[in-house]
Amino acid sequence: MVRGTQHSSFRKRLLLRVGIVVGLAFLLVEAVVWGGATIYLRMDAERFVRSEADEISSFVVRSGGELLIDAYPWNEPHHLFNEPRIDPLFVQIMNPEGQEIYFTPNIDLFNRGAYPRQMVTDPLISYSPFQELESRFVGSALLYFSSYSLRSREGQLLGFVQIARYLPDLQGAVRSVGLISAGILLVLLGGLLFLLHLQTGRLLAPLHRIARTADSLSAEKLDGRVPDLVGADRESVFLASAFNRLLDRLDGSFNDMRRFTADASHQLQTPLTVVKGHVDVALRKPRSADSYQRTLKVIGDEVDGLTRMSRSLLLLSRLDSSMVHMERRQVHLADLVTDALEEFSASSNCISVQMDEAAWVMANEELCLILVRNLVENALKYGESGPVVVEVTLESEYAVLTVQDEGVGIKESDLNMIRDLFYRSDTVRDLGLPGNGLGLALVDRITAWHGGTLSISSHPPGEVGFTRFSIRFPLAPTPLKTR
């Protein structure tokens, strides 16, 4: 398992990424809260003085269209005193020319020279909520000013009202709102990351189990499997079962390889022992030329057997390797079978042939010759000198090659195994019939390589009947020139 520091854990990465994304989202929320609070408080301050101006206007603007300043009750405390705790409002009434014609008593409490006597803001301009309030110091008091026009019902300008108020600590209020919301968001972010940290631990537990299982495996010990992941998510369960299936396949392949190595060394050992024995006996004392010839004949036969075996193994490995390219072309099956049977001319009297000339297949000739020869060789070898029938027939979209004998037969329990490498039935071993158990394995692989299917049926040993090997090849179109 890779525990190197160069790989940061999935959990760390997830937390980092979620942290960044959620953090950015929270920053945006914070910016909106901050901006919203600023605008709201700014507008609220404006609204406050505007409603006062409206109220004053409703008193002093008379229905006849004239200004009656005394109509408003100026004796309220917030017009009399200037202490910030009573939130005083400082009101000036100006005539249409902008000259002060009235001011509230609390303005008198300031140094009059310091208090502005003219309009500070232009009542005809509407200010945006994003703008700073128009403020200035009057002595040590910081006030903000707003001016509004006073108009008759007909819209005639009668004058202006200018109201000043202590500038509220907008920035302080905004800062508190911002800090409180930032605090809440930070706590939320921390809580979210903490929960995520706990949850990812649980989510990743199945992956750790799979990794631990993988860690415990080796070529010699492939029996470990990921246990049932109770309560795990679907993807992890799927991964675990795919991993277990992969292990099953690997385990199977490793077992096949081990069995193959054992079988192959055993198969090589037997002829080499025979050769060595004959050589030792021959060398023990001087022999006649006849005796040396017999020894050499035995050695030659064993070497032939070894050569056949190594050729078969080579071919099997070529068939198993997808890297090796072997050609295929349209092949006339009857001609090919005829060519293959030439090798058995000595036994031709017991071989009968029936062939449909219309059977063409896409095939590799060299491989197909080996296939036919192996089947016929077996039929002759295990056929107890009985008749052997070789047939090529057509069956809907298939060309069917059948090789049939009436020999020793195959037990039902052997039928599934005789295609395995080096497998030979007890029946033929007991009869002492030669062979290496590679012929049918080759037939099987060659058939599969051509996209065909091999079916085997046989009577049980000791009973009379047929042993039949049938191969169904997909038909190829008949070449034009032969039509």
Residues that bind ligand ADP (CB under 6 A): 374, 378-379, 382, 405, 407-410, 418, 423-425, 428, 435-441, 467
Tell me how far, at minimum, the Cβ of 294 lies from ligand ADP, in Å.
Answer: 25
Shortest Cβ 407–ligand ADP spacing (Å): 5
Shortest Cβ distance from residue 449 to ligand ADP (Å)? 17
CB of 266 to ligand ADP, least distance (A): 14
| Residue whose tokens read 């290496």 | 436
Nearer to ligand ADP, 247 or 443 (CB): 443
Q: Please say which residue, 232 or 370, places its beta carbon nearer to ligand ADP.
A: 370
Nearest-approach distance from CB 425 to ligand ADP, in angstroms? 3
| Min CB(319)–ligand ADP separation in Å | 14
Intra-chain end-to-end CA distance of the chain, in Å: 65
Q: Mapped to the 3 state alphabet, what secondary structure does the chain carry?
A: CCCCCCCCCHHHHHHHHHHHHHHHHHHHHHHHHHHHHHHHHHHHHHHHHHHHHHHHHHHHECCCCCECHHHCCCCCHHHHCCCHHHCCEEEEEECCCCCEEEECHHHHCCCCCCCCCCCCCCCCCCCCCCCCCCEEEECCEEEEEEEEEEECCCCCEEEEEEEEEECCCHHHHHHHHHHHHHHHHHHHHHHHHHHHHHHHHHHHHHHHHHHHHHHCCCCCCCCCCCCCCCCCCHHHHHHHHHHHHHHHHHHHHHHHHHHHHHHHHHHHHHHHHHHHHHHHHHHHCCCCHHHHHHHHHHHHHHHHHHHHHHHHHHHHHHHHCCCCCCCCEEEEHHHHHHHHHHHHHHHHHHEEEEECCCCEEEECHHHHHHHHHHHHHHHHHHCCCCCEEEEEEEECCEEEEEEEECCCCCCHHHHCCCCCCCCCCHHHHHCCCCCCCCHHHHHHHHHHHCCCEEEEEECCCCCCCCEEEEEEEEECCCCHHHC
Kindly state the smallest distance separating residue 361's Cβ from ligand ADP, in Å. Answer: 22
Minimum CB separation of residue 265 from ligand ADP in Å reads 17
Enumerate the β-bridge partners of residue 330.
Answer: 362
Q: Output the smallest distance, CB 447 to ligand ADP, in A.
A: 13
Residue 170 or 441: the one with the smaller Cβ distance to ligand ADP is 441
| SS3 state at 436 | coil
Closest CB to ligand ADP among residues 88, 407 = 407
Q: What is the smallest separation between the CB atom of 419 and ligand ADP, expressed in angstroms?
A: 8
Distance CA 160, CA 101 (A): 10
Q: Closer to ligand ADP at the Cβ: 156 or 455?
A: 455
Output 40 or 466, the one with its CB closest to ligand ADP: 466
